[in-house]
A and B are shown apart, each in its own frame.
Chain A
Amino acid sequence: MAHALLKIEGINKRFGGLHALNNVGLTINKGEIYGLIGPNGAGKTTLFNVLTGLYQPDEGTFTFDGQDLFRAKPHVVVGTGIARTFQNIRLFGEMTALENVMVGRHIRSKANALGAILRDRKTMAEEKAIEAKAWELLAYVGITDVAQERARNLSYGHQRRLEIARALATEPKLLALDEPAAGMNPSETEDLKVLMEKIRKDGVTVLLIEHDVKLMMGLCDRIAVLDYGKKIAEGVPEVVRKDPKVIEAYLGAAHA
């Protein structure tokens, strides 16, 4: 029996008259790569924002690793072990790649203002550890050569990788990636796939939004499909692919 890491039930989110998420429930098991697909405007990113604390859901339940995260603040969500990347990359542009990853260590370190001013041994040791860990993560995603470049000057592929390194710095149990392959060429996408499998092998559960259905079918253990804010299907890729409701949502009723 798989162990549930994240569980939401009956999540509703409305923006004025728009019912962006309608009674959405799903369970992500420990160690799997879980995919979230759906046509544009289906509510994928909204759900992502709910799962990472950036949006507060109107109703529902949300537990993660045994903790109640319903309407929790983003930093609390990150603290319990969910980290994310953004669809339209949001790095700290004027900071170096290394510093970006070091910011990711914030939640796992303690130095306060007094420690920063006095520079006691504990603070200095922690600072050193933060930097060492950041280098390690840059190596993990394979971008140590651009560590001292400002993030905004990095190539697109490097920026994507840097976002993943920054998210991994928070030591997540669940890594949520919002369209990580968007705008990538086939060889970059293939590299990304290898990286995601490596991350999963190292014990991090992965939640993935992606348009590239082929990538999703080959990579994900299970997939959920959203359409107009509702979950219309969930299961292993082979089953989801053949689900008439999914085909209808993507291609229109005539093909179902």
Chain B
Amino acid sequence: MTMALEMNKLDTNKKVGLFLVSAIVLAVLPFVVGGLLGNSWLRIIDFALLYVMLALGLNIVVGFAGLLDLGFIAFYAVGAYTFALLGSPHFGIHLPFYITIPLGALVAAFFGILLGTPVLRLKGDYLAIVTLGFGEIVRIFMNNLNAPINITNGPQGINLIDPVKVGGLSFGKSLEIAGHSFNSVYLYYYFFLALTVLVVIMAWRLQHSRIGRAWVAMREDSIAAAAMGLNIRNIKLLAFSLGALSGGVAGGLFASFQGFISPESFGLLESVMILAMIVLGGMGHIPGVILGAVVLTVAPEVLRDVIGPLQMHTFGRMLIDPENARMLIFGLALVVMMLLRPEGMWPSKRRKAEFDDAKKG
């Protein structure tokens, strides 16, 4: 579908209305969540935004370009470590966020090319295995680069990472306005939201461009794409590096938000979760991917809060340890979802049609 046609589908009034409503909802959301449920829930929403950025980044690689990447968390790690090393007492360097976050994004993009170059000829299962290895290599490096020269501080991780500071305002402290105290999760919410919106715009515009078309063509038939004059190498590397770029941004934000990072945060399970967000949400479809990221971040936390009390209420005692039950239900929900709606919760029209055709045989 071409840009102009897609835009015209909703008439302008509806579009403006939709935009205003979502803007208002997103603007007041932290006060509703923070006020009703408390700061810990707002913190989860902040994390959901980070995962939206990560999922949108991976979606460029997997959803748009069709390259299965099981090591995506490595770019998150690279962004996080770049931020941490240049903004913490570890080296005594304290660069401001507006340098470290773009720098982390660029370093991550460079790592994207570093991963992309050797795997240019691989696809499918083989590509998945190599990317999985790459993700683990990055994590193991972070774990062991504390000797002979201590760069990453090994498994202890890096502590006391600088919070984001704008002018005199530090996002790490609560903000006092008119006698009300707002926890740092409020400030980070708006900061993350702004960057998430930028990542969404970036992904959407890329998808509906010459580059986005080239990715789809390559995904559909890479030989025909090459025969039509597409430089497959460049197009693949572009997907890897642009995907890594958003991963790197999210990583920098994560480091400043947490104030502490260690290699433990960047394991294989994280890569798998981000992939699950895309598949569950609707691969290649930006609204679906956002939904998938939010649901998969928030659902396990909701289950954590609900399962214990629910068991006590129904059975009068704990039958299953809430932590185990939570992952059990979560896993079961994923399986059921994939059986009933393999195309995802909110697939693109194109993908939906693909699955409908497959069902018809």
A residues engaging B (CB < 8 A)? 52-54, 73-75, 78-79, 83-84, 86, 90-96, 98-99, 102-107, 109, 111-113, 115-117, 119, 123, 126-127, 130-131, 148, 150, 152, 166-167, 169-170
Known A-B contacts A94-B350, A94-B354, A103-B217; A127 and B227 likewise in contact (beta carbons under 8 Å): no
A-B contact pairs, 10 of them (CB 8 A): A53-B227, A78-B227, A99-B216, A102-B213, A103-B225, A104-B228, A117-B202, A117-B205, A127-B210, A170-B229
Give Cα A75 to B226, complex, Å.
6
Q: In the complex, what residue of chain B is closest to A49 when comparing beta carbons?
A: B227
B150 at interface by CB-CB < 8 Å: no
Contact residues on B (Cβ < 8 Å of other chain), bracket: 35 or more
B44 at interface by CB-CB < 8 Å: no
B229 CB contacts on chain A under 8 angstroms: 74-75, 78-79, 83, 104, 106-107, 170
Q: Is there contact, CB below 8 Å, between A116 and B210? A: yes
Give Cα A126 to B242, complex, Å.
22
Q: Is there contact, CB below 8 Å, between A113 and B226? A: no
B12 at interface by CB-CB < 8 Å: no
B212 at interface by CB-CB < 8 Å: yes
Contact with A along B205-220 (1 / 0, CB 8 A): 1100111111011001
Taking A107-B228, A117-B205, A170-B229 as known contacts, 8 extra A-B pairs with beta carbons closer than 8 A to each other, sorted by chain A number, are A54-B226, A78-B227, A94-B350, A95-B220, A102-B2, A106-B230, A116-B206, A169-B228
B206 CB contacts on chain A under 8 angstroms: 113, 116-117
Q: In the complex, what residue of chain A is closest to B226 when comparing beta carbons?
A: A74
Q: Is there contact, CB below 8 Å, between B226 and A86? A: no
Q: Is there contact, CB below 8 Å, between B213 and A99? A: yes
Q: Is there contact, CB below 8 Å, between A75 and B205? A: no
Q: Is there contact, CB below 8 Å, between A116 and B205? A: yes
Q: In the complex, what residue of chain A is closest to B233 when comparing beta carbons?
A: A73
Q: Is there contact, CB below 8 Å, between B2 and A95? A: no
B357 CB contacts on chain A under 8 angstroms: 152
A123 CB contacts on chain B under 8 angstroms: 209
Q: In the complex, what residue of chain B is closest to A118 when comparing beta carbons?
A: B205
Nearest first, the 6 A-B pairs at minimum CB distance are: A107-B229, A78-B229, A116-B209, A90-B224, A92-B220, A74-B226
Known A-B contacts A92-B220, A92-B221, A117-B202; A106 and B226 likewise in contact (beta carbons under 8 Å): no
Q: Is there contact, CB below 8 Å, between B216 and A95? A: yes
B216 CB contacts on chain A under 8 angstroms: 92, 94-95, 99
Give Cα A127 to B228, complex, Å.
18
Known A-B contacts A111-B210, A113-B238; A103 and B228 likewise in contact (beta carbons under 8 Å): yes
B166 CB contacts on chain A under 8 angstroms: none
B211 CB contacts on chain A under 8 angstroms: 111-113, 116
Q: In the complex, what residue of chain B is closest to A89 when comparing beta carbons?
A: B224
Known A-B contacts A93-B220, A99-B213, A117-B202; A131 and B2 likewise in contact (beta carbons under 8 Å): yes
Give Cα A202 to B261, complex, Å.
64
B223 at interface by CB-CB < 8 Å: yes
